[in-house]
């Protein structure tokens, strides 16, 4: 296709779509993760092995959520980054730490649940909290090493103000596509297959073992549903569309335009909004990992309902008095 007939890419879409999504995720994610972490730390002495991974999952979310206000300002200003090149790279690095750290810790949770249910005799007493802390440190190191090359790609364009690229500038897009494909394989595909294998085998074992407690079955199936939700909504669309969008940019740079490039770009921006939702959805794992949190939630909702009823009743009194005076 000739370059003159290339469809116009709707770059304005991200300015309209991403800021409200980021603000919503920031408010919900910060409240949910802060409350969940507080509950875990409150019972620090009773901390279980799986809760160590949940704790690190929450820390990864908080790290990313704190960068969202700066990205909201950036997109509200029509992609003008005013916070400098270094901080641009820091915000993108925090996003990658959150994304691949979340995938890594969810994989750890899946493997631990698999071992505890399918191989309880081999595991019980052999895996300690110290082991889970060591594994968590290894996950952070591995994710940092995977994300570090991204820091060396140019992220900004312009002098004092300009773009803060989610990937990199056009001149380096071919190399970045190769890096992104390798990153997708090691950071997403392999952990996803491990998680899928663990829960696939675990589901079969749970339903074939008659002695398995019904509550344990329900808890495992709930966690399986949460993980399917996270991977289906947040992680799979993002990785597929990110690489498709990079490929579209490579083709555009080589003057080989495709009619689907604008649709892929818009879909990629939607997937960016969906992938950041993982920071608001990850606290669902707290509901599974901590037995006290559902009871605390019910108490919180009861207090909120009582407060709402008291406010409603207080508002009716002046109205009734006014009616009596009339």
In angstroms, the CA 69 to CA 51 distance is: 29
How many domains in the chain? 1
Give 24's DSSP letter.
Answer: H
In the block, tokens 């960068």 appear at: 67
Give the pLDDT score at 73. Answer: 93
Give the pLDDT score at 257. Answer: 73
4-13, 15-24, 181-190: range with lowest mean pLDDT: 4-13
pLDDT at 16 over 60: yes
What does the pLDDT average to over 252-268?
84
pLDDT at 219 over 60: yes
In angstroms, the CA 79 to CA 14 distance is: 9
What burial class does residue 25 get, using C-beta atoms within 10 Å of its C-beta: 0-12 exposed, 13-18 middle, 19+ buried?
A: buried
19-33, 192-206, 305-319: range with lowest mean pLDDT: 305-319
What does the pLDDT average to over 234-240?
95
Q: What would the two tokens of residue 71 be?
A: 């990205």
Measured CA to CA in angstroms, residue 14 lies from 39, 221, 271, 295 at distances of 36, 36, 11, 40
Q: Give the residues across from 162 on adjacent strands.
A: 81, 158
Contacts of 202 by beta carbon, 8 Å cutoff, 6+ apart: 113, 114, 117, 118, 220, 224
Measured CA to CA in angstroms, residue 15 lies from 18, 20, 94, 170, 313 at distances of 6, 9, 21, 20, 43
pLDDT at 217 over 90: no
- Per-residue pLDDT of 185-210, as tens digits, reads 999 999 999 998 988 888 788 777 76
What burial class does residue 233 get, using C-beta atoms within 10 Å of its C-beta: 0-12 exposed, 13-18 middle, 19+ buried?
A: middle
**What is the pTM for the complete model shown?**
0.84
Flag whether 162 is in a domain: yes
Flag whether 2 is in a domain: no
Give the pLDDT score at 3. Answer: 47
CA atoms within 13 A on the CB side of 149: 11
Give the pLDDT score at 314. Answer: 60
Burial letters for 134-156: b for 16+ Cβ neighbours within 10 Å, e otherwise? ebbeebbeebeebbeebeebebb
Q: Which helix or strand (DSSP H or E) is residue 316 part of?
A: helix 292-325
Range(s) of the domain holding residue 200: 8-301
Flag whether 317 is in a domain: no
pLDDT at 158 over 70: no
Flag whether 236 is in a domain: yes
pLDDT at 157 over 80: no
Beta strands in 167-299 (DSSP E): none
With a pLDDT cut of 90, the percent of the chain lying above it is 42
Flag whether 90 is in a domain: yes
Q: What would the two tokens of residue 226 be?
A: 């949460």
Flag whether 294 is in a domain: yes
CATH of the domain at 115: 1.20.1070.10
Flag whether 194 is in a domain: yes
With a pLDDT cut of 70, the percent of the chain lying above it is 81
Flag whether 316 is in a domain: no
46-50, 59-63, 150-154: range with lowest mean pLDDT: 46-50
Give the pLDDT score at 325. Answer: 45
Q: What is the mean pLDDT of the chain?
A: 83
């Amino acid at each position: 296709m000739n370059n003159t007939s290339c469809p116009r890419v709707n770059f304005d879409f991200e300015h309209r779509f991403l800021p409200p999504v980021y603000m919503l995720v920031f408010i919900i994610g910060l409240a949910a993760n802060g409350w969940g972490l507080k509950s875990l730390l409150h019972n620090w002495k009773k901390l279980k092995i799986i809760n160590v991974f949940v704790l690190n999952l929450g820390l990864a979310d908080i790290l990313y959520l704190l960068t969202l206000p700066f990205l909201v300002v950036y997109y509200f200003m029509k992609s003008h980054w005013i916070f400098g090149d270094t901080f641009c790279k820091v915000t993108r690095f925090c996003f990658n730490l959150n994304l691949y750290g979340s995938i890594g810790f969810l994989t750890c949770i899946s493997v631990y649940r698999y071992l505890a249910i399918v191989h309880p005799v081999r595991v019980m007493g052999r895996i300690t909290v110290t082991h889970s802390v060591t594994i968590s440190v290894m996950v952070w190191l591995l994710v940092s090493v995977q994300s570090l090359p991204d820091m060396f790609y140019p992220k900004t364009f312009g002098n004092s103000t300009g773009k803060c690229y989610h990937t990199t500038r056009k001149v380096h897009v071919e190399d970045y596509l190769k890096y992104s494909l390798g990153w997708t394989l090691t950071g997403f595909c392999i952990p996803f297959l491990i998680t899928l294998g663990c829960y696939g085998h675990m589901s079969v074992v749970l339903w074939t073992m008659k002695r398995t407690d019904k509550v344990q079955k329900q808890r495992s199936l709930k966690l399986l549903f949460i993980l399917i939700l996270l991977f289906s909504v947040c992680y799979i669309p993002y990785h597929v569309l990110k690489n498709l969008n990079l490929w579209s940019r490579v083709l555009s740079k080589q003057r080989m335009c495709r009619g689907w490039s604008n649709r892929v770009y818009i879909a990629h921006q939607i997937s960016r909004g969906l992938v950041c939702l993982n920071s608001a959805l990850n606290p669902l794992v707290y509901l599974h990992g901590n037995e006290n949190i559902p009871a605390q939630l019910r108490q919180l909702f009861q207090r909120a309902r009582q407060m709402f009823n008291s406010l409603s009743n207080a508002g009716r009194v002046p109205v009734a008095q006014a009616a009596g005076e009339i």
